[in-house]
Amino acid sequence: MNFILRGTIAAVKALYNVEISEESINLQETRKEFEGDVTVVVFPLTKVSKKNPEQTGQELGAYLQESLMEIKSYNVVKGFLNLALTDAYLITLFKSTIQRSDFGSFDAINEKVVVEYSSPNTNKPLHLGHVRNNLLGYSVSKILEASGYDVVKCNLINDRGIHICKSMLAWLKFGNGATPESAGLKGDKLVGDYYVAFDKEYKKQVEELRALGKSDEEAKRDAPIIKEAQNMLQRWEAGDEEVISLWKTMNGWVYEGFDKTYRKLGVSFDKYYYESDTYLLGKDLIEEGLSKGVFYKKEDNSVWIDLREEGLDEKLVLRGDGTSVYITQDLGTAQLKHDEFKANKSIYVVGNEQDYHFKVLFLILKKLGKNWADGAFHLSYGMVDLPSGKMKSREGTVVDADDLMVEMIDTARKRTEELGKVEGFSAQEKESLFEMIGMGALKYFLLKVEPKKRLLFDPSESIDFQGHTGPFIQYTHARICSVLTRANSEQTDLTYHLEGLTNTERELILSLNKYPDAVLLAASDYSPSVIANYVYDLAKLYNKFYHEEPILKAEDRNIRSFRLALSGATASIIRKSMNLLGIHVPERM
């Protein structure tokens, strides 16, 4: 409401002869228990008025009502000036702005943002934690794009390291030449089974060494299978052709499996990076840091950095045997991304268990003199739990992403058929709808919560056509489309001339008008939950409007046409909002 900002500046100048800036004015939505649409917070302005908040509010309100034709009335509650907008202004706002097809679109900003998400290990399939990561990264990317940023969606594949060697070694020992085809499994699931097999054998060997009198630390260090995995990693980094060949084969299986999951999940990437390509660049940076005195070597040739003065600790950046650690690879990847894209911001979508890691990474980059590290940001998110408890990966009890998606679609099928929402649908249309509802429920439930918060995901609760869910919003969209389809079949004239508005129509116009601000806020906070909660409130408000105001049965042609136009604009904003969350909405349901 820029005209209110400008009007308030003019009011302060006229009443108190003081120049103030727009930043010093705080506008809020009027609380529901008070009359009004927009509230000016008066307290900060008492410094220039030299009067109490109530008197200041009365003087400003009288001035604004007199000078702005858009203001119908005002009232002051303590230090809050509540302004009611005229129906004529809201109708003009709806016609000239909200009904435009480009409403909520922003001009391009000359700023590039790299969003890195997913970042799976090639030793196991994607799980529920990865699902939240992918949905969050993809949605943040779409929101930033909608805000005008030039966005590059990146996926850093963790395709090397000791964990990868564990799966490879277990396959050599226990696999008997199994392939995805011979086992009848997706490649990522097959490789994941051998990661679990390694862990079982490792635990068995550790127990055997303990029984022989070794300490827990000695048993874990001396178990033959872990030593073999470490040797395999050394051979891999030394370029051993046999190890590299097996690595390429098994990783190829995993990539095919990942691609199927990504397609089902509805996420995509513009650029893939592989740690097998970036760790060497990381080693070069460590050599650079050693020459600058940023790092130091210990007697065993391992390389470290001392960050105790910054409130952190000493951090290993290269092992004594010359093999890299995670930070080595991340340093190389950060440099590679900067060299390729020169991005203003580089966002890392990674769980909050890695908060410390990213503090260390960004600090090291700055100590290496990489000024662009100021644009690095860790978008930290919380763990996802199920009602049955926390996920565990190495024991093989991980909540598999593919299985979860199948369960969601099956649940959607059952619920939808029970409610009789697929009458007249062909078999293909039904399956498309079940997938749309199931995936919409999953995505909405995981995105409606602020990223930093840990969440409890209940698949059953997420598919509720009356709750704070994706299916409720999808059903609202289908309801609007049904109204518009019937109007079209009746060849209803959508031109209108309107004199006044009902309270519900006013509320709906004001809610629609919030969409651009919701997009900008979601972009600045990197939080799809802003959009998710906005569109839920909009859908809720439309359903109130639908039940309170006759649309097709409205006797006055102008009112009928206006309410259809209002319905169409609502459907458009629901589609745009849900698209930013990566969710499709049906036209029939």
Mean pLDDT, the chain cut into blocks of 10 residues (589 residues total): 93 96 93 94 95 96 96 95 97 95 94 96 91 97 98 94 93 96 96 95 96 96 96 92 96 96 97 91 94 95 95 94 88 96 97 96 96 97 77 55 93 90 89 96 97 89 92 97 88 77 96 97 98 98 97 93 96 98 96
Q: Is the pTM of this model over 0.85?
A: yes
- Determine the 3-state secondary structure of 428 from DSSP: helix
Distance between CA atoms of 279 and 101, rounded to whole angstroms?
A: 47
Distance of alpha carbon 399 from alpha carbon 26, whole angstroms: 46
Rounded CA-CA distance 118/265 in Å is: 12
Q: How many helices (H) does the chain have, and how many strands (E)?
A: 22, 14
At 161, which helix (H) or strand (E)? none
Strands lying side by side in the sheet with 271-274: 271-274, 150-157, 112-116, 345-351, 376-381
**DSSP character at residue 127:** B
Residue 305 CA to residue 314 CA, distance in Å, equals: 6
Q: How many CA atoms lie within 13 A of 58 on its CB side?
A: 5
Residues 6+ apart with CB under 8 A from 135: 265, 267, 443, 446, 447, 528, 581, 582
CA distance 439 to 432: 11
- Measured in degrees and rounded to the nearest 5, phi and psi for residue 99 equal -75, -10
Report DSSP letters for 165-226, one per residue.
HHHHHHHHHH-TT--HHHHTS-HHHHHHHHHHHHHHHHHHHHHHHHHTT--HHHHHHH-HHH
Least Cα distance to 41 among 4, 68, 15 occurs for 4
* DSSP SS3 for 455: strand
State the pLDDT at residue 424: 85
pLDDT in the model for residue 390: 46
User: What would the two tokens of residue 71 be?
Assistant: 């203001």
